[in-house]
Amino acid sequence: MNYEELIKKAKEARERAYAPYSDFLVGAALLTEDGRIYSGCNIESASYTPTNCAERTAFFKAVSEGERSFSAIAVVGAKRGAKDCGICPPCGVCRQVMSEFCDGDFKIVLADLECNYKVYSLSELLPLGFELK
Ligand code: THU
């Protein structure tokens, strides 16, 4: 699985985003260590707080199916109809959820709609993350 394929899955998931309040559509594709892909989109709520980000949707789908080992996630996010959008870095809550299941070298692939992308590690995006020890 190369990153371009993972980004394609994230873009497809973005098309399924339910975001009538922000109009900000996000898709994610999470790659397990044995090569399976779980996609996710953001799902909003009229009362706002229950909104779930695309990254957490992908993680929760995978973990609830018994997956525990992950190697990478691709994320694509932009306003509906955007052309020139840039990348969508994961929010702090999603970074914390990633750190629950992944170690520091888990790869986070941030892509724009044209599939230009940059790869970060979780340790770069969440230095000194909280752990219960
Ligand atoms: N969102 C994500 O899906 N992932 C992120 O990492 C940042 C934000 C969603 C949540 C909400 O539906 C919309 O983007 C605007 O915040």
The predicted model scores a pTM of 0.97
- Among 15, 22, 26, residue to substitute to test ligand 1 (most atoms within 8 Å of Cβ): 26
Dihedral sign computed on CA atoms, order 89, 51, 54, 72: positive
Q: Which two tokens stand for residue 120?
A: 């970060």
Whole-number Å distance between alpha carbons of 118 and 53: 20
Task: Determine contact, residues 41/27, Cβ cutoff 8 Å.
Answer: yes
Q: CA-to-CA distance for 7 and 3, rounded, in angstroms?
A: 6
Ligand 1 in reach of 122 Cβ (< 6 A):
no
How confident is the model over 3-44, as pLDDT tens digits?
A: 999 999 999 999 999 999 999 999 999 999 999 999 999 999
| Residue 124 in tokens | 């770069």
- Work out the burial of residue 22: count CB atoms within 10 Å of its CB; fewer than 13 is exposed, 13-18 middle, 19 or more buried: middle
Summarised one tens digit per residue, pLDDT across range 57-110 is 999 999 999 999 999 999 999 999 998 789 999 999 999 999 999 999 999 999
CA of 16 to the centre of ligand 1 (A): 13
Q: Is 55 a catalytic residue?
A: yes
Distance 23 CA to ligand 1 centre (A): 10
| Separation of CA 93 and ligand 1 centre (Å) | 10
